[in-house]
Amino acid sequence: MTDIQTFVNGVVDGKLSDAEVEEWMRDVYDNGLSVEGTVELTDAMLHSGAVLEWPNEWAHLVVDKHSTGGIGDKVSLVLAPALAACGLKCPMIAGRGLAHTGGTLDKLEALEGYDVSISTEKAHEMVRDIGCMIGGQTGEIAPADKRMYAIRDVTGLISSVPLITGSILSKKAAEGLAALVMDIKVGRAAFMSTVDEARALAESIVSTGEGLGIATRVTLTEMDTPLGFAAGNALEVLESVETLRGAGPADLEELVCIQGGILLHATGLCETVDEGAYRIHDSLIDGSALAVFEEMCVAQGAQSSSFESERNLLSALGLLDGALNTTEFAVPQPGWIADIDAMALGTVVLELGGGRLNLGDEIDPGVGFVLDAHVGSLMVVGETWITVYHRGELSPDHREIIEGSITLSNDAVDAESRIIEIL
């Protein structure tokens, strides 16, 4: 038995104190860990609990996606059903949001009745019959990570590449994956502020994933500006449905199609990533991805009537609540939108109740914002560029932050791809 295996065993069975666990992780934080060591650590963490197993006839089709999160990052809600519509199996174990980053589970819980607590038996049934599920982590999955992360969180040991890698991949590998795509956000509203930092984590994720026998790719994507038009839990579900209808924002659709194309190619269902991306796009246009999404939601407790009309969907998301107010903000001068500060707007959503500072905090699913324009849009004086959803009145401070989050240019601005690099 190696030192790493002994350490992980001690984490799980409680033979190591919090101080001893911290000491071991601090050594990794200070001195790093080899590629082989990171693989060994991740493997021990994932086998500290239950590992999902799938029938041999389609185990090679089991895939997932993970993101470091950002303002308006709703890719998972669209991608999972699109993957299923294209013949893959996606048992997506998602998380809750902290601060401004949002959380996939929080978004889906905005839909009346949706239950993120899925038993192992139910997960197997849904993945077999529907092709996907999106639920929360159970105590059976990677229990070593739960304790290690809690200690890292209070001791300043979060930003260690080997420990981040182990934390992410131990949970994802426990899903019994054949392939994984990881989306690492880069920018002022992202976990990684520079491309170099993101690339270092990406290389660790790829080498460790491959070392575990999982075909692993990483996309580095920009997170300076909000992704899509909507941010806030209920509003993001609404935009996800619009995207599943083939009418979503171009930047969101791009990430869904490329990341889906990567997974279709990795599993051998397409000869190229581009071919896979076109297949994902087709599933959004022809309604097959939307049909899977609705079936998944109903299987997890939502009412089928929620999807029968636009009004029913708005009602199921709580967006017809009479106590929910909207405030529009207009541009003060003409010009092209050169920048929208995602971090500033995300902070406002957090303070309005749309996010949480601690995992136990209650959130308000109805608050958030919808952009009426994006980077590259030409605006005229008085034209609305953002609509904010809130309770009561917006404070002067929030108004000031919102008004200051947009930058206009006298020169034309081109909207660029979100994708910085694929590793």
Active-site annotation, residues: 66, 145, 152, 167, 171
Distance of alpha carbon 375 from alpha carbon 224, whole angstroms? 11
Distance of alpha carbon 197 from alpha carbon 83, whole angstroms? 29
DSSP 268-300: TSSSSHHHHHHHHHHHHHSSHHHHHHHHHHHHT
Q: For the chain, give the number of residues.
A: 423
Distance of alpha carbon 267 from alpha carbon 37, whole angstroms? 27
In this structure, which amino acid lies at residue 363?
A: I
Q: Which residues of 57-83 are buried (b: 16+ CB within 10 A; e: fewer)?
A: eeebbbbbbbbbbbbbbbbbbbbbbbb
Report the DSSP beta bridge partners of residue 89.
62
Phi, psi for residue 9 in degrees, rounded to 5: -60, -45
Structure-block tokens of residue 215: 């075909």
Please enumerate in sequence order all residues whose Cβ is within 8 A of that of 157, keeping only pairs 6 or more positions apart, or say none.
22, 25, 26, 29, 151, 163
Structure-block tokens of residue 105: 């589970």
Structure-block tokens of residue 283: 């599933």
Q: Which long-range contacts (CB under 8 A, 24 or more apart) does 289-292 make?
A: 289/78, 289/81, 289/82, 289/84, 289/85, 289/244, 290/81, 290/241, 290/244, 290/245, 291/85, 292/81, 292/82, 292/84, 292/85, 292/130, 292/131, 292/132
Distance of alpha carbon 380 from alpha carbon 162, whole angstroms? 49
